[in-house]
């Protein structure tokens, strides 16, 4: 490993260490802040972790964590906003999917919601968590992933600067000419969503509520890594 790899490992260890040291009280503060300011916390968690995933992908492909035009800060800004959208989607689908299942299944109102909210793990809760994951990743994820790829192209086209990010995106040109739909459909949609995100978010939704957001943020590393590697495939 290179010096830059050891630097990243040491920085990551320094950031994660307070979570595992009860005396610091950092984990309790983290949970309180997440409950009180969920969208602000989501912005920073995804801005840091998902961008880290893209930096790791760049390291794998080109041997560096940053390069001219890569635009770490613009990518963090985009991921922060997407993180807030993901948090919103989790709230909507966690409430809406059990209600939908109750309607189509003829169950009494709130019955499946109670099973899903129970702290006890059961086959019923696992099934509902899987249904929530499938609904969110089928309806919301493709739109979010496509928009993210468009912003990724826009950042590259504008030199990786914050000022460039704020310029109007040429969506028609990006979608019709620059977006690799072969990769987007055959890799991102057909493979990563059913094979990775369906089970990954099933695990997310069966975790205790205070751990769900943290786990989803950690999955942001994998999300950024998968999308960046898919985007770099020839």
Q: What is the pLDDT of residue 200?
A: 92
The string of DSSP letters for 66-132 reads --TT--HHHHHHHHHHHHHHHHHHHHHHHHHHHHHHHHHHTPPTTHHHHHHH-SS--HHHHHHHHHH
| Whether residues 18 and 88 fall in one domain | no
Taking the C-alpha atoms of residue 214 and residue 34, their distance in angstroms, rounded to an integer, is 9
What crossing angle do the helices spanning 209-231 and 198-206 adopt, rounded to 10°? 160
The reply to whether 5 and 109 lie within a common domain is no
Residue range 68-109, pLDDT digits in tens: 999 999 999 999 999 999 999 999 999 999 999 999 987 888
SS3 183: helix
Q: pLDDT-derived band of residue 234, with 50, 70 and 90 as boundaries?
A: very low
* Rounded Cα distance, 60 and 64, in Å: 8
**Number of domains making up the chain:** 2
- For the residues 154-170, what does the mean pLDDT come to? 95
Residues 100, 160, single domain; the answer is yes
Domain co-membership, 71 together with 135: yes
**CB distance 49 to 217 below 8 Å:** yes
Q: Sign of the CA dihedral 16, 20, 26, 32?
A: positive
Residues 67 and 103 in one domain: yes
- Same domain for 42 and 120, yes or no, is yes
Judgement on whether residues 95 and 7 belong to the same structural domain of the protein: no
Q: Which range among 129-133, 194-198, 229-233 has the greatest average pLDDT?
A: 129-133
- pLDDT reported for residue 229: 63
- Statement to judge: residues 71 and 3 lie in one domain: no
Q: Assess whether pLDDT exceeds 60 at residue 233.
A: no
Q: Do 99 and 148 share a domain, yes or no?
A: yes
Domain match, 182 and 206 both: yes
pLDDT tens-digit readout, 200-224? 999 999 988 767 777 877 786 776 6
159 three-class SS: coil
Q: What rounded mean pLDDT belongs to the chain?
A: 87
**Do 27 and 58 fall within a single domain?**
no
Q: Which domain holds residue 6?
A: 1-36
Centroid of chain to Cα 180:
21
Do 10 and 66 have their domain in common? no
pLDDT in tens, 110-119: 889 899 988 8
């Amino acid at each position: 490993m290179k010096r830059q790899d050891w630097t990243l490992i040491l920085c990551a260890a320094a950031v994660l260490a307070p979570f595992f040291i009860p005396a610091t009280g950092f984990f309790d503060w983290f949970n309180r802040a997440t409950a009180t300011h969920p969208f602000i916390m989501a912005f920073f968690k995804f801005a840091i972790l998902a961008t880290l995933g893209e930096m790791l992908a760049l390291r794998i492909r080109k041997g560096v964590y940053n390069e001219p035009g890569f635009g770490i800060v613009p990518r963090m800004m985009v991921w922060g906003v997407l993180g807030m959208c993901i948090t919103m989607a989790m709230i909507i689908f966690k409430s809406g999917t059990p209600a939908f299942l109750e309607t189509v299944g003829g169950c009494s109102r709130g019955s499946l919601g109670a099973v899903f909210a129970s702290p006890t793990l059961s086959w019923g809760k696992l099934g509902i968590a899987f249904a929530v994951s499938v609904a969110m990743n089928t309806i919301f994820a493709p739109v979010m992933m496509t928009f993210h790829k468009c912003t990724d192209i826009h950042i590259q086209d504008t030199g990786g600067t914050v000022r460039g990010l704020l310029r109007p995106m040429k969506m028609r040109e990006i979608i019709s000419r620059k977006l690799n739909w072969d990769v987007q459909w055959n890799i991102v949609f057909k493979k990563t969503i059913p094979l990775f995100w369906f089970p990954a978010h099933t695990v997310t939704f069966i975790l205790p509520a205070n751990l769900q957001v943290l786990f989803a943020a950690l999955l942001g590393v994998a999300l950024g890594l998968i999308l960046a590697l898919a985007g770099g495939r020839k």
